[in-house]
Structure 1
């Protein structure tokens, strides 16, 4: 397992300085929660236009890693940088303005506000800029247009997840952090969201995707990391891990569980 991670990092380190400015970089990240270290020495790379999966069982440190990178949890040690600029210690809103947006699990939207107001809040203060951003979000998710005047809390789970992703896109990010996008959603909705991620990556947006269903994430990712007990235990090409059922079983299903959870079957 370790040689795969080392090989990947050698490849990352060989990139030119010009390439590095288009990269989200996490080095030796350590994070504690409730007096307990939950992330230990994590190294990650996400390039512009790349989808990277961060996998592992519940409690492995995936979500804590995302929260720390987003500025929502303090870092005990290590560095997080975007295009060579350090993000450590910055407020989440400043990190967002730097070009890194986060979609948290459970479809986090402002339930009492309308869909339109949710997008306005996320789209910035300048009216002309905000209108253009909202128009681009609606071009990505035309499903939301008929619900613009409806309170976000009345949307289905799938529509709320589209809105949550739309909020993140309204700030016109260079990189996205997405935590458990498929949770509780019907397969048709999940496939629609995966299609959007492919399009965003093709447009040059880098995506770090935390996902409980390994096969879903690996199917659209360029590279993958697997975490266990707060550490990276695998780093490599997503297609290779996707094709190696035995390795995936040992890395993902064999850590704390006998089998991978069944894919989502209901919800909208």
Structure 2
């Protein structure tokens, strides 16, 4: 469904992504793990057209989306839940949700009800200013907003960042639920243990290069991954 081929991205002459290739098959969860500064967020921003790539290609359903506008990319079926949530604090929960459908011209009622069923707390607080929600509730709102564009591929950038352990567990349960409903997901997550447990396939990024790939379970039991990302010693 989503395929990246030999993607290279530079910032100020410094190569941040060095020829990365990866695939996100339909109805799969694929995770990209790695340390801070490895280039993970840059890859997602490149897919969304927010960062211009130096070379390579990005294909959705076999069609290149390189060089097209972010609005066109959203319309083609890709949505991003950004790092840090980036909700609109001075708008209500419902207004934030509707912003996710800013390119749509059809009726939103059934999809609003769908995200309310996924996140009942948002329905009960639809009138509330988004900035007054807890961190976990804001993350739920960011996911709900992204889903309102009716994406084929949902990309999530560090959804557990800054959240309490119990809230993180809830967020990953939501990820699994969305996936079970047929959503294809590309997940960036520093909690490698949780990411690999829920992912069908994973890639390990180090200083702009893919150094390892395999099934989520396979990487979870890889000694190098356990030592580098899961805090386990030989």
**TM-score when scaled to structure 2?**
0.94
Give the match for residue 136 of structure 1: 114
Structure 1 residue 123 displacement after superposition: 2.2
Structure 1 residue 134 displacement after superposition: 1.1
Compare the two structures and name the one with the higher helix fraction.
1
CA displacement, residues 39-61 of structure 1 (integer Å, 9 cap, x when unaligned): 01100100111011100111111
Structure 1 residue 203 displacement after superposition: 2.1
**2:168 maps to 1:201:** no
Mark the runs of 5 or more structure 1 residues left unpaired by the alignment. Answer: 1-22, 254-258, 261-268
More off after superposition, 228-237 vs 123-132: 123-132
Change (3 A) 1:125 1:56: closer
Alignment of 1:222-241 (within 5 A): 222-241=200-219
Change (3 A) 1:114 1:67: same
Change (3 A) 1:83 1:183: same
More off after superposition, 211-220 vs 124-133: 124-133
**2:100 maps to 1:118:** no
Conservation of the 8 A alpha-carbon contact between 2:6 and 2:55: yes
SS in 1 for 2:108: helix
SS in 1 for 2:196: helix
Superposed CA RMSD? 1.6
Structure 1 CA distance for aligned equivalents of residues 197 and 161 of structure 2: 17
Structure 1 residue 34 displacement after superposition: 2.7
CA displacement, residues 58-88 of structure 1 (integer Å, 9 cap, x when unaligned): 1111111111111111111000011011111
Conservation of the 8 A alpha-carbon contact between 1:226 and 1:251: no
Structure 2 CA distance for aligned equivalents of residues 176 and 209 of structure 1: 8
**TM-score when scaled to structure 1?**
0.82
Q: How many residues align?
A: 232
SS in 1 for 2:107: helix
Structure 2 CA distance for aligned equivalents of residues 126 and 252 of structure 1: 40
Conservation of the 8 A alpha-carbon contact between 2:103 and 2:149: no
Change (3 A) 1:81 1:126: closer
Conservation of the 8 A alpha-carbon contact between 2:9 and 2:15: yes
**Of 145, 157, 171, the match for 2:123:** 145
SS in 1 for 2:94: helix
